[in-house]
Every structure is written in structure tokens, then in C-alpha cells.
Structure 1
Amino acid sequence: MSNIANILWVDDEIDSLKSQILFLENKGYQVSALTNGHDALEYLKDNIVDVVLLDESMPGITGLETLAGIKALHQHMPVVMVTKNEAEDVMEDAIGSQITDYLIKPVNPNQVLLSLKKIIDNKRLVAERTTTAYQQDFRNLFMALSSNPDYNEWMDIYKKLVFWEMEMGKSDSPEMQEVLSTQKSEANTEFSKFISRHYEDWVHPRSTESPIMSHTLFRFKVAPHITGDKPLFFILIDNLRFDQWKAIQPVFSESFRVLEEETFYSILPTSTQYSRNAIFAGMLPVDIEKRFSQQWKNDDEEGGKNLYEEEFLAAQLKQLRLGDMRFSYTKVTNHQDGQMLVNSIHNMMDYQLNVIVYNFVDMLSHARTEMEVLKELASDETSYRSIAASWFEHSPLHQALKKLAGKDVRLIVATDHGSVRVKTPHKVIGDKQTTTNLRYKHGRNLNYDANDVLAFRDPSAAGLPRPNVNSSYIFAKGDGYLCYPNNYNHFANYYRNTFQHGGISLEEMIVPVVRMVSK
């Protein structure tokens, strides 16, 4: 240990523990010993202690009474209860009073040492082990990136990078975090090349196999689980990245058991208007425009771009020969909608399929760009995940799902696209009809550096409608974002380190679809 930890051991038979105390002192701990709860509480008023080892059965005030006094003085003080009493009610009282660990006498020195290490040294030991394990896996990831991965292997690479990113959050090693960040950036560079080579073949499959994408998600990952015996809830949380799913998964796991955790590919542009309409229509945007010409709106047209999802879904269900099935469709875009969902979710048990579209994470992403306070709260990937997890835990969506706990339901959670933290501005010149999106643009006279973007001069090659004659699309790669030359420095600085979507990155394109059942 780098710093000496101070231990207070309280036991009315403290003399019998001298050999144990000596053992701990030889391991580098500073141990103070007292024989009753009154003295312990007086001692803790004036002395700094890292952990209290507390006997449960003592004359005067009991260990549980002493524990209550300790928590009143220092709410977060780690306390290890050491007792001969194996009675279940005593254990439950101690656990309910938020003890940190529970040891049954007689304890051997190594048991006590292990408990102290878990409490005091846990963070350091986990950090050291995480750093070592990532160093060992670094080469495996490097080799995977160098071996021309296919679309399945790219999903595995991204999941592994997310795993290490979340594990590295437990580490205090900025150097290793920087190494991981660099490796992730290199992965995104290679991924952008991969998408540039294969995307057109995916949306126009000939002989090549294509992954499950937005427009095939419902057909392959939702429809097969619609049955008559129990209701299916398909919950689409807008703009939910895979790492954010991993952050909220523990809350889901309280009530639901994960059967299948997979990823799929969002179509381009990785934005709600395109990818979410594609999910519900079961079609690429170019085909949605042809079949639903009145409902489809291009970026430069007035009106809402996602107003007809329920109509698109009904048409897809009919195409899948599920047209006679009763389904519900609920979209939540504000807190009032969320409360209505909480109040009405029990009525949805009568439907075979219940679709719930929840818009919070996308609002968070856009609000973070505009609000200085959120830029502080979500300054990096870790805090962005943390805010998403905190939102979900206290959200109406979580309240509604808790009402389903214990009921016999199926649950599929997915998203339409993710987002990426942008850092590198690229200049783009266009006419007045050019769209304003930061991660993709379409227009008639776009001027750009071909190295910065993936360009489709023929939008139909990417499965996209042609808004105007001679319109072409460009998509930013990796952490790039597209700025006009006018007032370039202002916009480059304003949007740097904000979370955006619409372009090509692992974070935007490889997104979760998770199947669960109630416990």
C-alpha cells in the first residue's frame, strides 16, 4: 500500500486478538484497539479511521447499536462486523444497517486481510489488474484490426473496445486511457475504410452477404418473437450507443433476464429521420420515398420527419403477414408523455406487440451541444454514459418497466443510431440548398476534401432518395465534423467535443438490439 491505512478494532476480548493485530501491522496497517462501543464512538469523534472492525456481542452497547452510532457520525464509514453469532436475523440487521462486510468468528488473519484489501485497496488493485489485462489484449486488438475484419468481426472489435473503455474507467492510469483512446481512433479510421468499401454492396445485395441493418432489423430481430402466448414490448431508445446500453443494463437486470445481446448496423445517415423510419418501414429511405411519397420529407423540406412511423409499421406488419395483429404504438418526447406511459402500460398487456419509442438520449445529445452546463456534466465518454444511466434509473420508462416486472412478457430493446464525440473539423463549401448537419450533408454543388468524407454522387447507390437534381451526399468519418468556411473558427470551436450523429463511426453505426424476458 502506498499510504498507511488506519484501522479501529473494537472487541471486548481484544487481548485475544493481539497476534491478529500484529499480523496486520506487519502488513502495513496502523491498528488501534478498543474494548467497547462507547469508547469507539468517542474515539471516532476526534480520529480519522479508514475501516472499523466491530464485534457484534459486547457488554454495554451492542455492536449493532455501535454501528448505528458510527453511521450517525460518519455515514460512509466502512464497517466490518466480526461476530460469533450466525443467526440470520442478526446478519440481516447488520446488512440492513449497511455494513461493508460480515466475518464469522473465529476469523483467521488472512480473512481479515482479504476484507481490508477489498475495502481499502480494491480500487488500486482493480486499476492495476485492468491496466495489465488491457496491455495483454492490446496486441490481440491490433492484430484483429490488421486482419481485414468482416462485419461480424467489426462488431466484436467494437464490443471489446467498449469493454476496455468501461473497465479503464476503474483505472487511474491516464497513460493507458490515452493508449486506448488512440487505438479506438485507429479502429474508427479502419472502420471508415471498411464501410466505404462495402456499404453500397450491403444496401444492394448481390452475391455478398450483408449484416442486419436498420431496414431489416424488425423483420429478423423483432417479428419472429411476436407470438400469441405473451405480449412483446419493442422499446426503441433513440440515439442509444452500445456503451450506454451496457451502463443501463444493470438496472434492466433487476427485473429482466437477458437472453440475447447483439448489435446491428444503422444505415447512413445515422440520424433519426433516416434510420428510424427505415426500422419501422422495413425499407431503405429511397424505397420509403417511392411508396410513401406524401409522408416522406427530405432534410430541406418543411414539417416533421418522423410523423408517420406508426403508419410505416402497420404497412410492414401487413407485408410480413401480421396485418391482423393488434399492436400499440407510443412515442415519448417529453416528461408528460412519460407519465402517461407509466399510467397506461398495464393496458398494453392486451396487445401482442407494443412499440415504445423513447426520445431522451437524443434530446440529451442535442441539449449538450447547446447548454454550457451539460457540456460540463457530459464532458467525456465516461460522464456521457453516467448521465444516460442516471436518467434511465429515474426515468418514467424505468417506472413503466417496473410495472411489467413479474408479468409474463418479452422485451426487445434497441435503438436507431448512436453518436460520436467530434474533434476534427473539415471545411465544406455548398450552395444555399446544402443541409446544415454536422456529420452528413447533401446538396448540388458540394466542395470538400475527398479524404475527409465518403461521398455518393448518386444517392440511390446508398439507398437514399435524391432531394434535387444533381444532389449528392457526403458523410464525415471517425471524429470529423463538417463546417462551412464562413465563421469557420467559431463553429469549429463551438462544436468540438460535442456528441453528433449522421456519419460513419463505430459508435454511430454498431448499435444494440437486446432480447429479454421477465424474471
Structure 2
Amino acid sequence: MNTIKILWVDDEIDLLKPHILFLEKKNYEVTKCNSGTEAIDMLDDHKFDIVFLDENMPGLTGLETLNEIKEKQANLPVVMITKSEEEYIMEEAIGNKIADYLIKPVNPNQILLSIKKNLDHSRLVSEKTTSNYQQEFRKIAMDLAMVNSYEEWVNLYQKLIYWEIQLEDIEDVGMFEILESQKVEANSQFGKYIEKNYFNWFDKDTDAPIMSHTLFKEKIAPELSKEQPILLVVIDNLRYDQWKVFEPIINNYYKKDSETGFFSILPTATQYARNAIFSGLMPSEMEKLFPKYWKNDTDEGGKNLYEAEFLESQMKRLSLNHLTYEYHKITNLKSGKKLADNFNSLKDNDLTVVVYNFVDMLSHSKTEMEVVKELASNDKAYRSLALSWFKNSPLLEMIHQAQALGFKLLLTTDHGTINVKNPSKVVGDRDTSLNLRYKTGRSLTYDNKDVLVAKDPKEIHLPSITMSSSFIFAKSDLFFAYPNNYNHYVSYFRNTYQHGGVSLEEMIIPFVVFNPK
């Protein structure tokens, strides 16, 4: 292992001899100098891993030396040491991206801690995270064997996501692979749980989770009032793990009040799940009550053109039509920027609904564009790409403005998505629907172990295209492939993000309430 090289800059460096001896006994190599000018010259001829810099020196001050160091080597960690506790000096130093700030007198252990924090941070975090997950692994495995309620599934899935995000930056690839295998096992067990319980969730006497069609009544409506404006943001196709990496960004403006993991209805597809949120109805009820708004899979035309009308009918049904509200759907950058630019005009609404479509477009682009396949090759990369979009999006600008205007923020989605890995053969007639994670049609032939089957769609409140139509839903990370041109089809769609089926990633999704800071 290479010796860590330290540059210590102090006009009274000889007084620091005990500190320097302490570090040298720990096998650090310390170079001493008495002035900022000398330190700048040394950086031209030597490579250092970290700099300890006295703030109060004759000639070039510590802050002036810091500026010079950062111009030469922007990523070199600099620890400022000062007698002064004046706030402006702290702010100047922090503004110049110092690595740490120590107040004299400092003891040797403070110096050692600062070195470890800055230079050994990744290794120490990696080792501790790995150790913690190893301890948690057995508990998750035991939970997997016993989980038997929707609340327990939400908790288990949230735990898996927590560890996935914790482990993604560590160097131990083996730990990450163990977690991946736990996710595969969890999805296998979850498929069995849904097969056993989903059909019963529509029985009035059964304890059921909050689902797409009950979300508005149970969670959104109680937040609505004339007292405070509400911004409801529905990000299409947002996975729970993507929400968790968005959360720290939103925390800059908002304080989280509550978070609920709820369940998307089947199929976990926009035309079913998002219409259900805005109508407060299941698809078969939408078809029956609003035939001019509802379109089945095989019908021509857009399937989500009437969400505003569905919302209006639900507001009336819930006796909320005394509130002023607007619905906006954003499907491109131009319309997003336009709404952000005019956001101030929404301040008098009691409820402003913004449906944002970018994440869904991202998942479809991964199927169709090689460059996006490269950028979102796995869940970690997909999270990173979604986060990069969110940080630079008009949506974040809207959230910032909403906070300034005193809006409460509600954030949710219609369904998630899963990276599909394995094909499952299916045969259907020409009228069979096209989705890769669910199929509806007559005379479907499939592998029973791969699917959840609804032979009578009315049992789960789905419309029947014909008298003999059924629905099948792919479990885990499977996707449906027809036998003809099979190999080409499989290679094209394998490792793409799809939705419509039964998986933790598609079905368990967030609803979050925030108050402005």
C-alpha cells in the first residue's frame, strides 16, 4: 500500500512536532512548510494526498493559499486549521470546498480522524456497509420465508431497496450479487403471494392495501382543503428505488410528512393504473360508466386522453367540486418549461395536478435506442439516469416554486417497471394485446408456472374484449415472446425495462406527503 503524503502548512510548524511524530508513527509521510507561498511552490514539484493549512499566516493568508491550491489542484483535499471562530472565515473556507475545518488547539486524534474521513472514507464505508448487510442478510432471508401480509411485503421491499442503494457504491461485488439473488427470491415469493391474495382484495370484507383506484379517496382527498394549496405530482413509471434517490433533492425544499407504499392494480400499465387513480374506479367500472372515455388494449387511439375528465367526475363524487383545481400533463421538455415559467399563475388553485411522463419515455427509449441501453444497462445506471434528469428538469423547478408559494406537495406514480431477463413462450391469435408483461385475448397458450391467470377478467374488475377473453400476467423478470422469430425477439427485448406484470418493482409504489420548509 502506498504511503499517504501530507503537506502541513503553518508559520509555527515547529510547535506541531508532537502531532507530526504521531502521524509518522502511523506511517504517514509529512512534509512541513512555513508559508503559503512555499506551499504553492511545493505543489508544482510534489504529489500530496491531503493538505493541512493554517488560516492565520503572514504573507499569503490561509484563505488566499486555499484559493491558489484549488486553482492548481481542484480535487486535492484541504483541511483548514484556525484559531478564529469567526463565521465569515468558516463560510469562505466552506465556499471554497475545503475537506474539513478544525479549530485550534487540535489534538493528534482530530488530525487522524480528518485524514481517515477524507482518504479512507470509501474503504471504511465499504467495509462497514458490507459487515452490516452480512448481519442483515440472515434476517431478510428469515423474513422472506415468513412474510404473509401486504404490509410485510412493503416493509421487506423497502428494506431490499435500502440495501441496494447502500451497496451500490462499495467495492465488494460479491455482496451486491448476494443482494440480487435475494431480490430474485423475493420476487418469486411475491408472485405466489399475489396469486393467492390479489383476487380477494376486491372483496369488501377483506383487508386490502391501498391500491390505484382507492389512492385518491383514501390518501389524496383528506389532504385537500381551502387552507393550503396542493401540488399533486404523478411521475409516470417511477420505481420505488428511483423515488428514494430523488428524496434528498426534494428535502432541500420540503420536509417529509408521511410515506406510504401502495399497490398498483394489474395490469401495472399506464392506461389501467393511472386512469384508476384519477377516476377512483377499476377498469371494468370505467368501461361501463364512461364508455366514451375508456379504450381497451385492442382499440385504436390514445388510452390516457381523459384523465382530466375522470378527475372531474371523482371530485364530484367525493363532494370536492367546490375546490378549484387544474390538471396538466407534461410529455416533453417544451411543455415542462412552459408550465414552470407560468407556475406562479397556479397559486390560487386549491389543487394543481401535474402528470410528468419522462421516466416512462426513458424506459421505452432503452428498448429502442442503443445509446440509452448503454446508459441504463442495469438498475443502478437506470436510477442514476433518472436522478440526472430530475436534478435538471422543469419538474424540480416547479417543486422549488411550489415550496416558495407555500404549496403542500404530494408525490406519487402509477406503477413501476422491471428489467426483464428471461423469455416465456406464449401463443395467441391476431387480436391478442401486444404488451410484453401481460396479454389479453382468446385461446392463449402459455406456461402456467410463469404467469398469474385471470380466466374471468371480471373477477379482478378488468374488461373482457370478448366473451372468452382472459388475462395473463408475467411474474418476476419474465417477458412474453411468440415462437415465430423467437431468437430475434428475445435478443431485442432482453434486459429492457417493461411493465404490466407481477413484481415488487412494478406493483409496490410510493405515495409521499411533504410540507414546505
Structure 1 residues 43-80: Cα deviation after superposition (integer angstroms, max 9, x where no partner): 11232211111111122211111111111111111100
| Equivalence for 1:252 | 250
User: Distance between the aligned counterparts of 1:515 and 1:148, measured in 2?
Assistant: 27
| Aligned position for 2:165 | 166
CA contact (8 A) 1:367 1:374 kept: yes
Q: Answer with 492-501 or 259-268: which moved more.
A: 492-501
Is 1:277 matched with 2:275? Answer: yes
Structure 2: which 5+ runs fail to align? none
Q: Does 1:350 align with 2:343?
A: no
Q: 3-state DSSP class of the match of 2:53?
A: strand
Deviations 1:132-156 (A, max 9, x none): 1111111111111111420000000
Q: Which amino acid aligns with 1:359?
A: N
* Paired residues of 2:225 and 2:323 also in contact (CA < 8 A): no
Residue 501 of structure 1: aligned partner:
499
- Looking at structure 2, the residues matched to 44 and 13 of structure 1 have their Cα atoms a distance apart, in angstroms, of 20
Q: Answer yes or no: is the 8 Å Cα contact 1:126–1:170 preserved in 2.
A: no
In the alignment, what sits opposite 2:213?
215
Cα distance between partner residues in 2 of 1:134 and 1:194:
25
Letter in 1 for 2:481: C
8 Å CA contact 2:428, 2:444 repeated in 1: yes
Give the Cα–Cα distance (whole angstroms) in 2 for the partners of residues 365 and 43 of structure 1. Answer: 51
Aligned to 2:62: 63
Partner residue of 1:372 out of 366, 370, 373: 370
Which runs of no fewer than 5 residues in structure 1 stay unpaired? Answer: none
Distance across 1 between alignment mates of 2:364 and 2:45: 49
Question: 1:26: which partner in 2?
Answer: 25
Q: Secondary structure at the match of 1:405?
A: helix
Structure 1 counterpart of 2:434:
436
Post-superposition offset of 1:126? 0.7
Match of 1:466 in 2: 464
Q: Amino acid of the residue matched to residue 149 of structure 1?
A: N
Q: Note if contact 1:430-1:444 (Cα within 8 Å) is conserved in structure 2.
A: yes
Q: Once the two structures are superposed, what CA deviation does each residue of 1:99-143 show, in whole Å capped at 9, x if it has no partner? A: 111011111000011111110011111111111111111111111
How many residues of Structure 1 are paired with residues of Structure 2 in the alignment? 517
Structure-to-structure mapping, 1:107-506, within 5 angstroms = 107-202=106-201, 204-506=202-504
Letter in 1 for 2:247: Q
**TM-score, L = length of structure 1:** 0.98
Code of the aligned partner of 1:297: K
Looking at structure 2, the residues matched to 23 and 340 of structure 1 have their Cα atoms a distance apart, in angstroms, of 61
476 and 3 in structure 1: CA distance in 2 versus 1, 3 angstrom threshold: farther
* Alpha-carbon distance between aligned partners in 2 of 1:424 and 1:24, rounded to the nearest angstrom: 55
The 2-side partners of 1:455 and 1:192 are apart by 12
Displacement of 1:225: 0.6
Question: Is the Cα–Cα contact under 8 Å of residues 7 and 52 in structure 1 kept in the other structure?
Answer: yes
CA distance in structure 1 between the aligned counterparts of 2:29 and 2:440, rounded to whole angstroms: 67
3-state SS of paired residue (1:155): helix
> Following TM superposition, by how much is the alpha carbon of 1:35 offset from its aligned partner in structure 2, in angstroms?
1.4
Cα separation, 2, equivalents of 1:148 and 1:399 = 40
Matching of residues 48-127 of structure 1 within 5 Å: 48-127=47-126
Q: Is the 8 A contact 2:6 2:51 kept in 1?
A: yes
Which amino acid is the alignment partner of residue 130 of structure 2? T
Q: Cα deviations across residues 361-413 of structure 1 (Å, max 9, x unaligned)?
A: 00111011111111111111111111111111110011122112233221100
Tell me the percent identity: 52
Q: Distance in 2 between matches of 1:345 and 1:353?
A: 13
Shift of 1:344: 2.1
The residue type paired with residue 429 of structure 1 is: V
With 16-25 and 223-232 compared, the bigger mean Cα shift is at 16-25
C-alpha RMSD over aligned residues: 1.1
Please state whether the residue corresponding to 1:516 is helix, strand or coil.
Answer: strand
CA contact 1:9–1:54 (8 Å) conserved in 2: yes
Q: In structure 2, what is the Cα distance between the partners aligned to 1:354 and 1:88?
A: 41
* Secondary structure in 2 matching 1:230: coil
Report deviation, 1:322: 1.2
Distance 1:166 1:13 in 2: 45
Give the Cα–Cα distance (whole angstroms) in 1 for the partners of residues 49 and 15 of structure 2.
Answer: 23
Give me the whole-angstrom Cα distance separating, in 1, the residues matched to 2:368 and 2:2.
Answer: 43
Confirm or deny: 8 A CA contact 1:331 1:356 kept in the other structure. Answer: yes
User: Which moves more between the two structures, 301-310 or 24-33?
Assistant: 24-33
Q: Does 1:4 align with 2:3?
A: yes
2:428–2:442 contact (8 Å) kept in structure 1: yes
